[in-house]
Amino acid sequence: MTTRLATRFKACAEQGRAALVTFITAGDPDHDTSLALLKALPGAGADVIELGVPFTDPMADGPAIQAAGLRALKAGQTLAKTLAMVREFRAGEADTPVVLMGYYNPIYIYGVERFLKDAKEAGVDGLIVVDLPPEEDNELCLPALKAGLDFIRLATPTTDDRRLPAVLANTAGFVYYVSITGITGAATPDADVVGQAVARIKRHTGLPVAVGFGVKTPAQAAAIAAGADGVVVGSALIDALRGSLDAGERATPATVPAVTGLVSALAEAVRGVARAAAE
């Protein structure tokens, strides 16, 4: 069975361009605004959507995404509500892949078997669980693959050629290359270094390689798009959302347009690299 992720990355490759992967936190700043934003992302140019599952101890996330998670939790967001959001999104959008990104604890509490069943039925396509290493594949990775969900693994600048095969062994959908060492949104990636790293990873796998952590501007997205199969943008979108909130951190009429406007600019930049390459 061909997955939505495989179909979307194949379509982007056939167009000679990278995919734009956008990250938002489910329930930030509230459920209804977050759902409206989720529904608006494909039209703004998002090829793949990563939906963050808020958690109280997000060790890999920088201040922007940590704050987004806290806003979402304060507004009452739960894993069950996140799955319901995906279900409602799927009612009107059948093609755009949705990947849940987060930590194992909420899934463990929900119950792995129940979670995988509910996630698949809701229309989730893949999982990124940043605190489960390959040594723990029996916990979630292998059951997820059996349930028909892609399990996307992170590779980092410190993942050497000895470690890489273990990281890639059960990876599906795409490989997420973390372009910097440290937390999300903390630094700016060097496009040349990233291109070399992507080429190294692709010597070990036929999967698409998407690059994230630190990509903030359309110009940076375009630079990364020249050497990667996908460009992931998260903290910059969360910053745009935060800048639209009122003094009480509540949504305003500017909230959804603030994010979709940036997504459109990023999408144009990523597609611009393809047009230049195709000419």
Helix axes 31-44, 255-278, angle to 10 degrees: 20
Beta bridge partners of 76: none
32 is catalytic: no
Measured between alpha carbons, how far is 36 from 252 in angstroms, rounded to an integer? 13
Q: Catalytic residue, from 30, 47, 50, 229: name it.
A: 50
What is residue 18's DSSP assignment? Answer: P
Question: Residue 65's closest CA among 101, 105, 19, 104?
Answer: 101
Residue of 53, 27, 33, 88 whose CA lies nearest to 257: 33
- Pick from 61, 22, 63, 38: which is nearest to 239 by CA? 63
Cα gap 219→133, rounded to integer Å? 33
61 is catalytic: yes
**CA angle 178-181-182, nearest 5°?**
100
DSSP bridge pairs for 126: 99, 150
Catalytic residue selected from 30, 61, 150, 239 = 61
Closest among 39, 47, 42 to 89, alpha carbons compared? 39
Give the count of beta carbons closer than 10 Å to the beta carbon of residue 47.
Answer: 26
Q: Which ranges constitute the DSSP H helices of 75-229?
A: 79-90, 104-110, 112-122, 141-146, 164-168, 191-202, 218-225
Q: Which residue has the tokens 């070990």?
A: 204
The set of catalytic residues is: 50, 61
